[in-house]
Structure 1
Amino acid sequence: MPLPAYALAVALAATSVVPAAGAMTAPAAPEPAAAPEPAAAPEPAAAPVAGPIVQMFQWPWDSIAQECRSTLGPKGFGAVQVSPPQEHVRLDGEDHPWYQDYQPVSYQLESRRGNREQFAAMVSACNDAGVQIYADAVVNHMAASDAIGSAGTTHEKYVYPGLYSDADFHDCRRDIANYDDKDEVRNCELVGLSDLATESDYVRSAEQAYLNDLISLGVSGFRVDGVKHMPPEDVGAIFGGLDEVPGTGARPYVFQEVIADQATSAGEYAGNGDVTEFAYHHEVSEAFKNGSLAGLEDVADHMTLPSEQAVVFIDNHDTQRSEPTLTYKDGTAYDLANAFMLAFPYGTPQLISGFAFDDPDAGPPADSEGRTSPASCSDQAWVCEHARPIIAGMAGFHREVQGAELTNWWDDGSGRVAFGRGDAGFVVLNREDAAIEQQSFQTSLPAGTYCDVMSGSLQDGSCTGGAVDVNEDGWLTTSVPANSGVALHAGAKLS
C-alpha cells in the first residue's frame, strides 16, 4: 500500500544528520507530572465555532496575528489551524523542507515561525478578533535522526535531552512494511520517525504537559497528526485528560487525521473527537475537476462518518503534494469546490492557505538560516487561498447558515447546481463553460435584495459586488457566468 505523502517526503530526510557545531544545548525540560490514575475520558467537544477552520500552513506567528485582525475575523472565519509550534529538527542539508516541522525535538515553543512570546501574542490577537487557534499536535513520534533542533537542542535518535530516552519508544525499530497489519502500523516506525510508546504513563503525561502549556496560552483545540499510527485508547487517554480552555469552561476541540484504509477506519477514533473524512476530498474534488456536480446532492450518504463528527476539506498540505485532484493551481474550479463545501450541510469545513510551490518537498519562503519569512497576501510567494473573493465571501456564508437544513435542490443533470439552507442562504454554482442566462430558482429566502457574497459584500448599506432580488414567493431570477457562482445569505440582505 502506498505511503502517505508526508511519509514519502520524510523518507528523503530520514537519515539526514545536521552538524551540531557551535550549537548550544537547550536547557533540560522539567520533569512531567506523574500520570493520573486512568479514568473514562469525557465526551469529546464539538466544533465550537460557526465559521470554518483555515489551516494557515507554515505561516509565521506574527503574520497570523495580523491576518486575524485584518481579514480572518472580519470575514467570519472561526478558527486557524497553525503549524506545529514545538521545537522541530533542522534539516539544513535538505534546504529546510516543510516536513521538518513534523519531527519534534523538544516541546519548547521555538520553531522557524517564531518563539514562545510571539506564539502567545498571536493566540491573544486572534482570540480578540473572534478567531480560535487550533495547534497541529505531533504526538506519535519524535525526529527521525541525530540532529539539532530549531531551539538549539542537540539529540540522538531515541534520546531527546530532558524529555525522552530509549525506553520511551516502541521496540519495533524498523519502518512499517505491511499497512494491512494494524499492530505494525501502530508500533513500527513511519519512515524512520522514532515511534513513541503512547501507552506509557510517562509519555502520556509528558505530552499532556506540552498540550496543557499550549492551552494555558489560550489555544482552543488541536488537529492530531498521524492518528492511525496510535491505538484509539492512547489518543483518548492523552487528549481526554487535558485542561479546560481558560475563561471558557470548555474542553479543547480535537479533530484527528485518519487516512482510512482496509485496516483502519475513521470510525474507530470517533469516540475521541472529530475525524478527517478523506472520502469527501476525493468525491467533491473529483466532481468539480470534471464538472459533474449533479450527484453531489447525496454526497453525505457516501461518507463513513456522521456530519457532526466529520472534518472535510478540498485539499490540505498533504493532498496538495500527493493527490492534487484540485489545488490553488486549478483556479476557479478550486474556488467553486470550496464554495460548495462551505455551503453544503455536511461536516466541519477546513480550508488551507499556504505558499506557492513547484517542488512538493519545498519549505516556505525563508532566510538563509531557514527562518520563515513574513507572510503577506501582497507577496506572490504566499498563495492566500483564504483571501480569494469566492472563498472569503463564502466563509461568512457558512457562518450565517449554520444549523439550517438543505432545501430547494436544483441541478441540470451535469455541471450546474443550486440549493438553499432554509431561510438563511441560497447558492448557485456553474461549473459549465457556458453562462446560465436569466434562470429562475425557487428559494426559501424572505423577499428582498441580497448582496452576492461571491462577488462582493454588504458595506455601508450597499453591495460592493452584484445584487439579486428575491420576490414575495421566494423566487429569484439571475444570470451566472461560466465557471462562476452566486451566493446570498441573510447577513448580506439590504434593509
Structure 2
Amino acid sequence: MHHRIRSTLPWSSVASECTNVLGPKGFGGVQVSPPQEHVVLPGQNYPWWQDYQPVSYQLVSRRGDRAAFAAMVQTWHGAGVKVYVDAVVNHTAGGASTGPGSAGSIYTHYSYPTVPYGYDDIRSWTDRWEVQNCELVDLADLKTESASVRGNLANLNNLANSMLLSSAQAVAFVDNHDTQRNGRARLTYKDGATQVSCGNGWVCEHRWRTTANLVGFRNAVAGTGVSNWWSNGSSQIAFGRDAKGYVVFNRDGGPLTRTFQTSLPAGTYCDIANGDVNGTTCTGAAYIVSSSGQFTATVPAGGMLALHIGAQMSGGGSGCGTVAVSFAVDAQTVWGENIFVVGNRPELGNWNTSSGVALSAATYPIWRGTVQLPPDVTFEYKYIKKNESGYVIWETGANRVHSTTGSCTVTFNDVWRS
C-alpha cells in the first residue's frame, strides 16, 4: 500500500516537493491531474476543473509540457515516490468554452482535434438508456456509434486489462477534488498561477503535521493488527497497532482525560500528531509509557494524539553510553555512484542528503558503515545513491525503522529497494 496525494501543482514544483518533502516523509506515491491538453478559462480564474475538460490528447497542460512531465516523473522515482496519473478518456470539453486549448489547439463544441464525440445531455438519471448514451452536464462524450471510436475503445480496453492492479496496489480515496468543493476545503491550486510555492497562496495539505507525520505513523506500524481498542460508545476512540503504535481521537465537545492501555514498549514517546521529532527531543508533547504499557493523557475537544516506535525518545535500558550501529546494504551501483545512509537523527544528517553518512564499498556489493547513536532510541533511515555531480536517488518504500534498545552493538543487514 502507498500513501498518495493528489496534486495540481506545476510539474516542476511537484518535482521539487517530492525530493524535499514527500520522499523524506515516507509518502509512497502522488496522483497528478490529467496531463493532456485542456480548456483554458482565464475569465473564471483558471478553475481546477478545467484540467478535466480535455480537447486533445497532447501532453501539454497548464502544468507543463511533455518534457516537463517526463522530468518530473524521473525526479519522483529518484526520490522513491511513485506516480499515479488521473486520465479523462470518455468525454471532452463542454459547450461553454472555445479554443484555443492549453497546447494551442483550435476546437468548438463537438469538433475536436482527435476523436468524434456525440451529444444530448442526460435529463433523467433514472433512465438507463440516457445514462448510458447521453452527456454529463454538457461534456461531449465519445461517439460510440462511430466504428473508429469503437475500434479505439477496443484498444483502450486491451490496455486497461494489461494495467489491472491487485487489491494491494489499488487506490482508495479518503478525500479528493470532488469532495473538497463548495467551500468544504481548498485544493492545492491558486488562481491559475504557474510558478508558486507552499505558503505562497497554495494550500499544501501534505505538509500539514497531521498528514505528513501520520504517514510516518502508518509506515512504523505497517503489517500490524488493531489492538487495545477503547471507545466511549460515541465520539471518542483509541486503539493500538500491536507494539508499534497507539492513537487517540476525540470528536467530543470537551476534553478527554484517561489512562490508556497500550502494547508499546516502556519509554518516552513524542506525540507526532501535535509535534515533531527534533533529534533527541520533541517539539510538542511527550508521553511516558510505563512498563505495563500505560500512559495518561488529556486530548482536547476535536483533537488527537499519536505515538509510535519511530518517535520513541528513550526507554528499555541498555546500560551503554552509546550504541555502535552498523549498516550493511546490498546495492548495485554504476561508476561514480556511492551509497549513503540518511535518517531522522543528527548523526544521520536529519534527512539532509548533503550530510548523510558515507558507506564503504570495500566489500562490494555490500556497502558498510558504523554510526554511534544514543542508547534506547528508535530511529528512521533510508539509503541513497549519490554521484559525483551530487545527483541523488532515494531507495523506494517506507522509511526503515529500528531501535538501539537492548545492546551496545547492532547490525542491520538490508537490501537496496529499487
TM-score range, shorter chain: 0.5 to 0.7
Instruction: Pick the aligned partner of 1:447 from 266, 273, 277.
Output: 266
- Which of 377, 389, 396 pairs up with 2:209? 389
SS of equivalent to 1:88: coil
Tell whether the 8 Å contact from 1:139 to 1:207 is kept in structure 2 after alignment.
no
Which deviations, in whole Å up to 9, do the C-alpha atoms of 1:16-37 show, x marking residues without a partner? xxxxxxxxxxxxxxxxxxxxxx
Alignment partner, residue 432 of structure 1: 252
Higher relative contact order (CA 8 A, sep 6+): 1
Matches within 5 A, 1:137-286: 137-145=87-95, 146-161=98-113, 163-164=114-115, 166=116, 169-170=117-118, 173-197=119-143, 202-203=148-149, 237-242=158-163, 253=165
Which amino acid is 2:292 matched to? Answer: D
Question: Deviation of residue 189 (structure 1)?
Answer: 0.8
Equivalent residues of 1:140, 1:198 under 8 A apart? no
1:384 to partner: Cα distance:
1.4
Which residue identity is paired with 2:180? Q
Residue 154 (structure 1) shift: 0.8
Question: Which structure has greater strand proportion?
Answer: 2
Match of 2:191 among 365, 388, 408: 365
Greater Rg over alpha carbons, structure: 2
SS at match of 1:195: coil
Query: Which residue of the partner structure matches residue 27 of structure 2?
Result: 77
If the length of structure 2 is used for normalisation, what is the TM-score?
0.67
Who is 1:377 aligned against? 198
Q: Which amino acid aligns with 1:55?
A: R
* Number of equivalent positions: 312
CA drift of 1:88 comes to 0.5
Offset at 1:404? 2.0
Instruction: Provide, for residues 425-452 of structure 1, a one-character-per-residue CA deviation record: whole Å limited to 9, x for no partner.
Output: 1101122343333x21111222222221
Alignment partner of 1:135 is 2:80: no
1:64 shift after superposition: 0.8
* Aligned residues of 2:47 and 2:191 also touching (Cα < 8 A): no
* CA displacement 1:382-411 (0-9 Å, x = unmatched): 111221222221121122223322221212
2:242 paired with 1:422: yes
RMSD (Å), alpha carbons = 2.8
Distance in 2 (alpha carbons) for counterparts of 1:310 and 1:199: 32
Q: Deviations over 1:179-237 (max 9, x none)?
A: 2233322321112212114697854776899xxxxxxxxxxxxxxxxxxxxxxxx8x54
Aligned counterpart in structure 1 of residue 14 of structure 2, from 41, 45, 64: 64
Query: How far has the Cα of 1:69 moved from its partner?
Result: 1.3
Paired AA for residue 365 in structure 1: D
The residue type paired with residue 129 of structure 2 is D
Equivalent of 2:294, from 475, 484, 494? 475
The match for 1:354 is 188
Give deviations 1:223-267, integer Å, cap 9, x for gaps: xxxxxxxxxxx8x5442134xxxxxxxx6x5xxxxxxxxxxxxxx
Does the 8 Å CA contact 1:426/1:489 hold for their aligned counterparts? yes
Alignment pair present for 1:318 and 2:187? no
What are the ranges of 5 or more consecutive residues in structure 2 without an aligned counterpart? 314-376, 378-418
Residues of 2 paired with 1:108 and 1:126: CA distance? Answer: 22
Q: Quick one: percent identity of the two aligned structures?
A: 46
**Contact 1:204/1:238 (CA < 8 Å) preserved in 2?**
no
1:153 Cα deviation from its structure 2 partner: 0.7
Does structure 2 retain, via aligned residues, the 8 Å contact 1:75–1:392?
yes
- Contact preservation (8 Å) 1:207, 1:238: no
Rate the CA distance shift 1:489–1:482 in 2: closer, same or farther, 3 A. Answer: same
Q: Where does residue 414 of structure 2 map in the other structure?
A: none
Greater helix fraction, Structure 1 or Structure 2: 1
Q: Give the Cα–Cα distance (whole angstroms) in 1 for the partners of residues 233 and 253 of structure 2.
A: 15
Which blocks of at least 5 consecutive residues in structure 1 are unaligned?
1-46, 210-233, 243-250, 254-272, 275-306, 329-352, 356-363, 367-371
1:473 deviates by 2.2
Q: Distance in 2 between matches of 1:309 and 1:411?
A: 30
Moved over 6 A (4+): 198-201, 307-310
Preserved CA contact (<8 Å) 2:46 2:191: no
> Any residues of structure 2 matched to 1:25-104 within 5 Å, and which?
47=1, 49=2, 52-56=3-7, 58-104=8-54
**1:238/1:95 CA distance change after superposition, 3 Å:** same
Maintained 8 Å contact 1:59/1:113 = yes
CA distance in 2, matches of 1:398, 1:198: 44
| Cα distance between partner residues in 1 of 2:171 and 2:112 | 35
TM-score, normalised to structure 1, is: 0.57
Indicate if the aligned counterparts of 2:62 and 2:194 stay in contact, CA closer than 8 A.
no
Give the superposition deviation at 1:107: 1.3
- On the 8 A contact 2:53/2:92 being kept in 1, the answer is yes
Post-superposition offset of 1:309: 6.2
Measure, in 2, the Cα distance between the counterparts of 1:190 and 1:460. Answer: 53
Q: Give the letter aligned to residue 377 of structure 1.
A: C
